[in-house]
Structure 1
Amino acid sequence: MTRFRPCIDLHDGKVKQIVGGTLRDGGAGPTENFVSEKPSGWFAESFRQNHLTGGHIIKLGPGNDEAAREALTAWPGGMQLGGGIHADNAAEWIKAGASHVIVTSVLFDKEGRFLPEQLAALVKAVGKDRLVIDLSCRRTERGWTVAMNRWQTLTDLDVTVETLDRLAPYCDEFLIHAADVEGLCRGIDGGLVEFLGNWGEIPVTYAGGAASFADVAKVDALGQGKVDVTVGSALDLFGGKGVRYADLIAWNRR
């Protein structure tokens, strides 16, 4: 059964909802759908009170460590942590309260070539059961291609059955944002969800584009109940109007 997985996206030390494709180095800042006046710990405490496990905290760039630690302190062992994770600091974040660490960019060189030795180092540092591989991707002529560096750089790794089979023995879960629809509230990438559900060998969380509760139900149907879902900008908790937080809590309690 598809579960709702909560999220806390941190940018410049604040909880925000951002249109994913607008994150860039330098120049104008990203397009922001929501900037909270409440601290990260407030959101994590709400997730704890409502028994929402397996969510993720993502640090989008520098200046977010303090807010990340606050959230992990509020819900110790209840959330995963990603953003700037590597073999030398992964265990530190587990000690700080993360159930898992989430990695993408560290698994590639600057040109986007996959580095299996980096994955091996992370497994050695925290163990596969504490590791989530983020295969967030963009649509390309090859299908879906993993994008790193805040989704700015395409890699040499495509989201295929072969890729999932290759990486699954080295992690506990996959997290996959559909970067082209992330934050737009115009609907999910149904083809990607269906592909992930057809694979379905280990837990997978999909994020990107959910605009209504019907989209949550669509993830459940297309993913055959094997794909969990994150709702961001459309959620009333983050200023959205498409999905009620209370409805997602009730969904998880079915």
Structure 2
Amino acid sequence: MGSRSQFRPCIDLHGGEVKQIVGGTLQQDESTLRTNFVAKHPPAYYAKLYADHALRGGHVIKLGPGNDAAAEEALAAWPNGMHVGGGITGENARSWIERGAEKVIVTSYLFPACRFSLERLLELEAAVGKERLVVDISCRRRGDEWVVAMNRWQDLTDMVLSQETLDLVSAHCRHVHAIYLHSELLIHAADVEGLCQGIDEQLVTRLSEWVSIPTTYAGGARRTYARRLIFADIEDLELVNRLSRGKVDLTFGSALDIFGGRGVTLDALVAWNRS
């Protein structure tokens, strides 16, 4: 794990298009769906953009059915440079590696009937290897706890985020080898996803205490207008860096200029990563 938080890119797919969605509104009945952005460009455009800036490990997330072809297009634009998630199972995980994903991201498959299954985690570990497995712990806040959520973040599971549960999961996506990096955890804060109203600072702080492998946080990142900072338009990245002591990376979605946001530019994020 590095000593400084990094920007991690994403490509969210819905209905075969690149979109930015308010996470809590993504339900089976899409009458309540709130969308911040629908791209005019195809998925490959964004994958190529990330490749040009050497932003490895971007997350291609399939939000519901009808996104396989779009995901394949993104992976083909940067083979072995991006991770793919959404509908990943023990049966299809290996095929996504073969289609060009560097790693596969899994959530719902690990929770049949909303209960955590170590057996399924071991199945995925055997299918792709620890070094190619990313566990997405999407969660919703309930009181002073964060409960893992699945099925478009609508169903709560029996897993509560803690040192113990993250250690359990991390043990099966941790691999030390001369030619591989560790794999990682992806933490979606579903309650603030897409709102651009700020990160869940308490969650990021707790993650810094709990995580033992590379971890990326997603949800709520925005621009603020403080002028005292060198990187004033990406203050949330500086905040995550400080709260997590550089142990947690950050994804910008709806706030980012390439997704219709105002103020947070891809160029500034690339400069942060390189500086």
TM > 0.5: yes
CA contact (8 A) 1:143 1:158 kept: yes
The reply to whether residue 233 of structure 1 matches residue 254 of structure 2 is: yes
- CA distance, structure 2, for counterparts of residue 177 and residue 236 of structure 1: 21
Q: Which residue of 1 aligns with 2:146?
A: 144
Name the SS of the counterpart of 2:168 in structure 1. Answer: helix
CA contact (8 A) 1:55 1:78 kept: yes
What is the TM-score of this pair, normalised by structure 1?
0.98
What is the TM-score of this pair, normalised by structure 2?
0.90
Letter in 2 for 1:237: I
In the superposition, relative to structure 1, how do residues 142 and 154 fare at CA in structure 2: closer, same or farther (>3 Å)?
Answer: farther
Q: Which residue of 2 aligns with 1:63?
A: 66
1:94-115 residue CA offsets vs partner (Å, 9 max, x unmatched) = 01111110000000112x1111
Q: Which residue of 2 aligns with 1:163?
A: 165
Alignment of 1:71-220 (within 5 A): 71-110=74-113, 112-141=114-143, 143-171=145-173, 172-212=183-223, 213-220=234-241
Q: Which residue of 1 aligns with 2:245?
A: 224
Letter in 2 for 1:217: E
Runs of 4+ in structure 1 off by over 2 angstroms are none
- CA distance, structure 1, for counterparts of residue 79 and residue 30 of structure 2: 36
Q: Which residue of 2 aligns with 1:246?
A: 267
Name the SS of the counterpart of 1:28 in structure 2. Answer: helix
CA contact (8 A) 1:198 1:224 kept: no
Q: 1:41 aligns with which of 22, 39, 44?
A: 44
Identify the range of structure 1 (24-33 vs 4-13) with the bigger mean alpha-carbon deviation: 24-33
- RMSD between aligned alpha carbons? 0.9
Q: Which runs of 5+ in 1 are unaligned?
A: none
